[in-house]
Amino acid sequence: MAKKNKKRVKHVPQRTCVGCRSVLPKQSLIRIVRGPEGVRVDPTGKAPGRGAYLHDIQSCWERSLKGSLARALRTSLSEHEIEQLLEFMTTLRDEMVANKAVSKEDMEQKEA
């Protein structure tokens, strides 16, 4: 009996944003890690330590810095760590800009 060639659907890891609690693919979120050097942004997503994930939208970062990020990392954030995270947050896009960019992309895709 011949085997049927079925295309396998590749598994996409899902993670939850600690700011807004929405579940998204891991690649679309930014990882924050509590490691031996303290809490920091992990651009590779492979640093050792306990990790938490956030959108690249400032509003999610603002909400998470109020307590949910510290809870997810099972630690308390020092003033220095909060300053570093806020500095990184300023490089992120604003939610209104993000929503406009998404809707503009949707419009372009519908036209094509």
For the chain, 112 residues long, give each residue's pLDDT as a single digit of tens: 566 677 888 999 999 999 999 999 999 999 999 999 999 999 999 999 999 999 999 999 999 999 999 999 999 999 999 999 999 999 887 655 555 555 545 445 545 5
Per-residue confidence (pLDDT) for residue 51, from 0 to 100: 97
Per-residue confidence (pLDDT) for residue 49, from 0 to 100: 95
Which domains does the chain carry?
Answer: 14-111 (3.30.1230.10)
Between CA 3 and CA 14 the distance in angstroms is: 31
Per-residue confidence (pLDDT) for residue 2, from 0 to 100: 63
**If we measure between CA atoms, which residue out of 32, 43, 36 comes closest to residue 82?**
32
**If we measure between CA atoms, which residue out of 58, 53, 54 comes closest to residue 96?**
58
